[in-house]
Chain A
Amino acid sequence: MGNIIEINDLKKYFPISSGFLKKRVRHLRAVDQVSFAIEEGETFGLVGESGCGKTTIGKILLKLYEPSGGSIRFKGEDATSLKGAALEDYRRGIQAVLQNPYASLNGRMRIWRIVGEPLIVRGERLSAVKKKVDELLDLVMLPACGDRFPHEMSAGQRQQVAIARALSINPKFIVLDEPTSLLDVSAQASILNMIVALQKKFFLTYLFISHNLAVVRFVSNRVGVMYCGKLVELADSEALYSNPLHPYTNALLSSIPDPDPESDKKEMVLEGDVVSPIDPPPGCRFYLRCSERMDLCREAEPTLLQAGQRHLVACHLRKASP
């Protein structure tokens, strides 16, 4: 089983012009030299708070943004900058389920038209499309709903429609960006079950982007933690949860209130605000909020180094174990 996705030193900088005559150009470094690989068949969880770059990475992989630097490989072949037929091929293999169930479906179209769009765009006959859509709707447990409109469906059902649409052209890789963040607890549970079951059934690979660590833990094999555009820790899911190495990961884990009143989980409250990645100062991005910081952290940016089996961390405090 090889890697289905490999990103290397991926960068995405957004120029922000400020100053009176819009002369001064600063850069929002949304994604700053991030590298990781996703194996075929696994779920890679990407966690972080707002502004960390996780959604931007998703959008780059979906070719909604062009990267400013670095490279992407898809199924072993270079996919950094694609156009025309190569781009069409790429889009066949990668689909998405996005966060907002109300905004990701065109309210004026019927469900069958929405789910079938990837097929219709590629010139399939409408009768074939309708047949395939019926199968897909059965698969996501929305039988005979093809003629309805989105406004007749609940948020959870809309996400089911989004999942059906994502599966319509048999992709190998699906980017899920916060698919359950806007759902009620009961809808969330059924969508998560569905996502996991479909992965087994169709041998799919997922990039699961979320800020909710409990959910990420439930679906992911491996997890990457992002802060301010950088990948700060990367490990197998259970290794991350049982032995978090980066101070930010620690804080993140302790900030999810446990639905257990008798939980004695240590509370770690981070002071300060989420930092914006606009022209960041040298050194570690987490410096200002880190309770264990050293002088070195202000001067030199830590690189992602091996700190255990399949466990990488970018922190001066956790020196690499040989």
Chain B
Amino acid sequence: MAGKNSTDNETRKAEQKIKFRMLIRRIPKIPAAIILLLFISSVSAQWIAPHDPTAQTLLDALKPPVWLKGGSASYILGTDALGRDVLSRIIYGSRVSVIVGFAGVLLSAFVGTLLGMIAGYSGGKIDSVIMRFTDMMLSMPYILIAMAIIAAIGPSLTNIIIALALCNWVGYTRIIRFESMKLSTAEFVDMAVISGSGRFRNLFVHILPNVLNTVLVLATLDVGKMIIFEAALSFLGLGVQPPTVTWGGLCADGRSNLSFGWWIATFPGIAIVMTCLAGNLIGDWLRDELDPRHQLRT
């Protein structure tokens, strides 16, 4: 009477290897490749960027991309009004996007999940207080909150991340609260109490691991949102300040040159869109993948 699947641990391990390989095969290739590209470019910007992103060469200002008349191979995506290479700026800009995207998501997920779990598991007054606070936050337009925070503490990379996190955590709280509520009535939580586990311990040992799937899906879908958020702030001039390059800043720069230098804003814009799309597609795939009902597939 040893096992449901197979009779010994060896076969089990072999099966697990097969399952893992099949999982890798299922990952959506193109979105994953884009995210990978993003990471690589942010980590190795100084080696792969053809030019210094802040180097101004006024003689080469407003050069179009290489495939157009007047373009040159040394500036593949063209240059901006001050002669700075657009491609290099995009590559360097990915660093901020990655940091803001991931750190922002991490922080907001942490805060939102913590509050959601506490609200869902505790119920009663604590739940009411947390949810009323959440409702309050939800009723305010996030851009204004972010602007207010930045205005108060100043626009630096850390402060941007804090501001974004403070606006975004509410997305997690509602959903995680619901999940935690369901879980807190599950028999295994009762069994933990019977085994002697205290409420605080239950939260982190039993509830948290079971909401992680949901958090992961939400977080993945949030990455794109964060990048756009940061881009919006940069566009408004409230993001990370020059000389640090950000995609939003690039779009802002290119705004005034849309007729004669459309490439300056367009390519960073495309970068934002593609990253966001990739994040969303992976998030969708992850949600389906982690759904237990998705077992039966052809």
| A residues neighboring B (CB under 8 Å) | 62-64, 88, 91-92, 94-96, 98-100, 103-109, 117-118, 121-122, 141-145, 147-148, 152-154, 157, 162, 165, 190
Max chain A C-beta neighbours (<10 A), residue from B9, B191, B192, B201: B191
CA distance A252 to B196 in the complex (A): 37
Q: Is B5 an interface residue (CB 8 A)?
A: yes
Q: Is B285 an interface residue (CB 8 A)?
A: no
B3 touches A98 (CB 8 A): no
- Contact count band on B: 20 to 34
B194 touches A95 (CB 8 A): yes
B192 touches A117 (CB 8 A): yes
Measured between beta carbons, the chain B residues less than 8 angstroms from A122 are 196
B1 touches A91 (CB 8 A): no
Residue of A nearest to B201 (CB): A121
A141 touches B1 (CB 8 A): yes
B206 touches A106 (CB 8 A): yes
A104 touches B196 (CB 8 A): no
B4 touches A153 (CB 8 A): yes
| A-B pairs under 8 A by CB, number | 74
Q: Is B197 an interface residue (CB 8 A)?
A: yes
Q: Is B210 an interface residue (CB 8 A)?
A: yes
A152 touches B5 (CB 8 A): yes
Task: Give the interface segment out of B56-64, B142-150, B182-190, B237-245.
Answer: B182-190
Q: Is B139 an interface residue (CB 8 A)?
A: no
Answer whether A121 and B210 are a contact pair too, CB < 8 Å, given A98-B191, A103-B188: no
Residue of A nearest to B198 (CB): A121
The one of A64, A143, A157 in contact with B194, judged by C-beta atoms closer than 8 angstroms, is A64
In B1-38, the 8 Å CB interface with A consists of 1-5, 9, 12
Measured between beta carbons, the chain A residues less than 8 angstroms from B4 are 152-154, 157
B196 touches A64 (CB 8 A): no
Measured between beta carbons, the chain A residues less than 8 angstroms from B187 are 98-100, 103-104
A142 touches B2 (CB 8 A): yes
**Smallest beta-carbon distance A156→chain B, Å:** 9
CA distance A107 to B93 in the complex (A): 42
CA distance A109 to B207 in the complex (A): 12
CA distance A100 to B191 in the complex (A): 11
Measured between beta carbons, the chain A residues less than 8 angstroms from B195 are 91, 95, 117-118, 121, 165
In B191-237, the 8 Å CB interface with A consists of 191-197, 201, 206, 209-210
A144 touches B2 (CB 8 A): yes
CA distance A147 to B2 in the complex (A): 12
Tell me the dominant secondary structure on chain B's binding face: helix
Measured between beta carbons, the chain B residues less than 8 angstroms from A121 are 195-197, 201
Measured between beta carbons, the chain B residues less than 8 angstroms from A99 are 187
CA distance A118 to B197 in the complex (A): 8
Measured between beta carbons, the chain B residues less than 8 angstroms from A144 are 2, 9
Measured between beta carbons, the chain A residues less than 8 angstroms from B3 are 145, 148, 152-153
Measured between beta carbons, the chain B residues less than 8 angstroms from A98 are 187, 190-191
A117 touches B9 (CB 8 A): no
CA distance A104 to B190 in the complex (A): 8
**Smallest beta-carbon distance A5→chain B, Å:** 15
A106 touches B209 (CB 8 A): yes
Q: Which 7 A-B pairs have the closest CB atoms?
A: A118-B195, A103-B187, A104-B187, A108-B209, A121-B196, A106-B188, A117-B195
Measured between beta carbons, the chain A residues less than 8 angstroms from B9 are 144, 147
**Smallest beta-carbon distance B165→chain A, Å:** 26
Max chain B C-beta neighbours (<10 A), residue from A88, A94, A107: A107
Measured between beta carbons, the chain B residues less than 8 angstroms from A92 are 196
Measured between beta carbons, the chain A residues less than 8 angstroms from B209 are 106, 108-109
Q: Please name 23 pairs of A and B residues whose Cβ atoms are closer than 8 Å in the assembled complex, sorted by A.
A: A63-B193, A91-B194, A92-B196, A96-B191, A98-B187, A103-B186, A103-B187, A105-B188, A106-B192, A107-B210, A108-B209, A109-B209, A117-B192, A117-B197, A121-B195, A122-B196, A142-B1, A142-B2, A145-B2, A152-B3, A152-B4, A152-B5, A153-B3
CA distance A3 to B74 in the complex (A): 91
CA distance A157 to B3 in the complex (A): 8
A108 touches B210 (CB 8 A): yes
Measured between beta carbons, the chain A residues less than 8 angstroms from B192 are 106, 117
**Smallest beta-carbon distance A115→chain B, Å:** 10
Measured between beta carbons, the chain A residues less than 8 angstroms from B210 are 106-108
The one of A94, A104, A108, A147 in contact with B191, judged by C-beta atoms closer than 8 angstroms, is A104
Measured between beta carbons, the chain A residues less than 8 angstroms from B193 are 63-64
CA distance A32 to B202 in the complex (A): 32
**Smallest beta-carbon distance B132→chain A, Å:** 18
**Smallest beta-carbon distance B123→chain A, Å:** 15
A118 touches B196 (CB 8 A): yes
CA distance A62 to B197 in the complex (A): 13
B188 touches A104 (CB 8 A): yes
CA distance A92 to B196 in the complex (A): 8
**Smallest beta-carbon distance B200→chain A, Å:** 12
**Smallest beta-carbon distance B79→chain A, Å:** 53
**Smallest beta-carbon distance A51→chain B, Å:** 18
Measured between beta carbons, the chain B residues less than 8 angstroms from A190 are 1
